[in-house]
């Protein structure tokens, strides 16, 4: 199975890294262009699996900011060359890293950060998680209630 | 094996009732095992109306066994109306319902056909349009599809018109312009791919 991730960064001042993970498959990629497509191809998918797009830029912890200067936006995720997830459909779950939470304790947080539960913007260190069920349609079609 | 890819609300039950006598199979019309477990329930026939949405790995796995796929489409708003009357949630507007059907691809016929042509090629996929090929031409349709499926006969006792004309007393619902634009784009894509 293939997964395509359409990303965008806020500015061209830096090339932040993201870590893609699908089950045991992990890829680290730099976001060089303002808009970029990342590909995970030939993935084994025979059980429910988490897809995550993660950011772990430690330099944030050497600043007094509570979010990254250069945000990364996940505009679209295409699963199995067909299903399209975005900020209006099957939005990911936001999970902050413990180090990031500890950092917020030091520098202070904001209400908009506290309110972030389902989100497609990586302004933090942590991950956006999608549950990719097997088969994929089970992720959002509730066949069990048919 | 014969696999009905979709769509729902396109007379699949009527078709199944007409031709099921040809198969040495006594199970459900819609076992749903391809889309729920990625596995065939039998090696003869599967008329689950959501087969269009099976994983690509499942499609590639079963393709060797499949002699024909059937894809029946219909005017998307009419299809959605029929579905809406049966499945809407309390307080759910037609626009909201349509929007969900678009996001979950059920009304994206262009994307669906593109995907299936990529997965299994075009030769084994029989395509019919409910409005043009079935609604007022049931007898012609059943003869044609039986011939293409290499079936000897169909149930002559089941009235041809009963199922089909139930749709005539349903309300005419409309969706917003943005959704209509997406549906038109999908239909154009569907016809271009089909003709191409």
Q: Is A40 within the bounds of a domain? A: yes
- Nearest Cα to Cα of residue B187 among B82, B110, B123: B110
Q: Which domains does chain B have, with CATH numbers?
A: 2-195 (3.40.50.300)
Domains contained in chain A, number: 1
Asked if B118's CB is within 8 angstroms of A81's CB, the reply is: yes
| B51 contact residues in A (CB cutoff 8 A) | none
CA B134, CA B71: separation in Å to the nearest integer? 13
Q: Is A146 within the bounds of a domain? A: no
Residue of chain B whose alpha carbon sits nearest to that of A84: B103
pLDDT tens-digit series, residues A85-115: 999 999 999 999 999 999 999 999 999 999 9
| Block residue for tokens 């049931």 | B138
DSSP letter, residue B131: I
Q: How confident is the model at residue A145 (pLDDT cuts 50, 70, 90)?
A: very low
Q: Is A145 within the bounds of a domain? A: no
Read off the CATH number of the domain in which A57 is found: 2.60.60.40
Instruction: Give the closest of A46, A81, A140 to B104, CB-based.
Output: A140
The answer to whether the CB of A81 falls within 8 A of the CB of B115 is yes
ipTM: 0.91
Asked if B50's CB is within 8 angstroms of A137's CB, the reply is: yes
- Nearest Cα to Cα of residue A75 among A95, A56, A54, A89: A89
A144, pLDDT greater than 50: no
Establish, for the pair of chains A and B, how many residue pairs have beta carbons separated by less than 8 Å. 47
| A141 contact residues in B (CB cutoff 8 A) | 35, 50, 53, 104
CA B144, CA B150: separation in Å to the nearest integer? 10
| B36 contact residues in A (CB cutoff 8 A) | 135, 138, 143
**pLDDT tens string for chain B (196 positions)?**
999 999 999 999 999 999 999 999 999 999 999 999 999 999 999 999 999 999 999 999 999 999 999 999 999 999 999 889 888 889 999 999 999 999 999 999 999 999 999 999 999 999 999 999 998 889 999 999 999 999 999 998 877 665 554 656 678 888 999 999 999 999 999 999 999 8
Q: pTM, whole model, 2 decimals? A: 0.93
């Amino acid at each position: 199975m293939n997964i395509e991730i359409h990303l965008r960064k806020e500015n061209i001042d830096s090339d932040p890294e993201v870590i893609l993970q699908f089950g045991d498959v992990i890829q680290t990629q730099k976001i060089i262009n303002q808009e970029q497509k990342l590909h995970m191809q030939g993935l084994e998918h025979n059980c429910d699996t988490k897809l995550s797009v993660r950011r772990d830029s430690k330099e944030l912890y050497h600043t007094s900011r509570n979010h990254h200067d250069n945000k990364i936006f996940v505009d679209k995720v295409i699963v199995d060359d067909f299903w399209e997830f975005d900020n209006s459909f099957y939005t990911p779950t936001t999970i902050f890293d413990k180090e990031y939470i500890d950092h917020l304790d030091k520098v202070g947080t904001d209400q908009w950060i506290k309110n972030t539960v389902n989100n497609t913007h990586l302004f933090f260190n942590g991950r956006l998680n999608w549950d990719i069920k097997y088969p994929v349609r089970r992720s959002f079609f509730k066949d069990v209630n048919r | 094996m014969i696999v009905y890819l979709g769509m729902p609300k396109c007379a699949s039950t009527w078709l199944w009732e007409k031709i099921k006598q040809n198969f040495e199979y006594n199970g459900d019309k819609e076992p749903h095992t391809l889309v729920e477990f990625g596995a065939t329930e039998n090696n003869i026939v599967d008329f689950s109306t959501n087969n269009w949405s099976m994983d690509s790995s499942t499609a590639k796995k079963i393709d060797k066994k499949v002699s024909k796929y059937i894809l029946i489409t219909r005017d998307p708003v009419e299809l959605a109306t029929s579905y809406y009357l049966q499945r809407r949630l309390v307080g759910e507007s037609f626009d909201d319902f349509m929007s969900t059907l678009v996001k979950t691809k059920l009304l994206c016929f262009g994307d669906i056909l593109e995907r299936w042509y990529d997965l299994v090629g075009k030769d084994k996929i029989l395509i019919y349009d409910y409005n043009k090929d079935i609604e007022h031409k049931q007898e012609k349709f059943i003869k044609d599809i039986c011939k293409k499926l290499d079936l000897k006969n169909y149930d002559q006792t089941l009235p041809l018109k009963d199922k089909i004309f139930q749709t005539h007393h349903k309300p005419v619902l409309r969706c917003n312009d943005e959704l209509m634009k997406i549906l038109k784009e999908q239909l154009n894509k569907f016809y271009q791919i089909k003709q191409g």
